[in-house]
Amino acid sequence: MSQPTQNWIHLVPAPTWEEQRGNATYLPEAYEADGFIHCTIGDGRMLAVANMFYTGDPRPFLALTLDPDRITSEVRFEDPDSVFPHIYGPLQTAAVTGHRTVDRDDQGRFIRFTEAMPS
């Protein structure tokens, strides 16, 4: 199975990314429980995932843009459409090529991304 060439997206609470962005690697808060880092290919898909799992978390969120060619940990596509890559190990912060804030409505739903910024 060949990997999609689009950039991948990882959703992270802004304070969590700010704490780790200067490190060589990053691990999300749920890594110990999940055993991998969740990623999504496609903005619309990412908003849908965010609305399924994170509307109850009031923190500001960032969508990290990842360059899959810079990821050195094992990657598996475990979904039939190959749109949800899982990273089994730390994410090299050098693989993060930018980030966008995610705007939310009054009910906490994720509605759009802001302009991309370098990380």
**Residue at 3 is within a domain:** no
Residue 116 pLDDT: 65
Cβ contacts of residue 30 below 8 Å, gap of 6+?
38
Domain that holds residue 19: 8-113
The tens digit of pLDDT for each residue in 20-70 reads: 999 999 999 999 999 999 999 999 999 999 999 999 999 999 999 999 999
Residue 16 pLDDT > 60, yes or no?
yes
**Residue at 51 is within a domain:** yes
**Residue at 119 is within a domain:** no
CATH of the domain at 106: 3.20.170.20
β-sheet bridge partners, residue 21: none
**Residue at 36 is within a domain:** yes
* 8 A C-beta contact, residue 99 and residue 39: no
> Counting beta carbons within 10 angstroms of the beta carbon of residue 40, is it exposed (0 to 12), middle (13 to 18) or buried (19 or more)?
buried
pTM of the model: 0.90
Distance CA(95)–CA(105), nearest Å, equals: 30
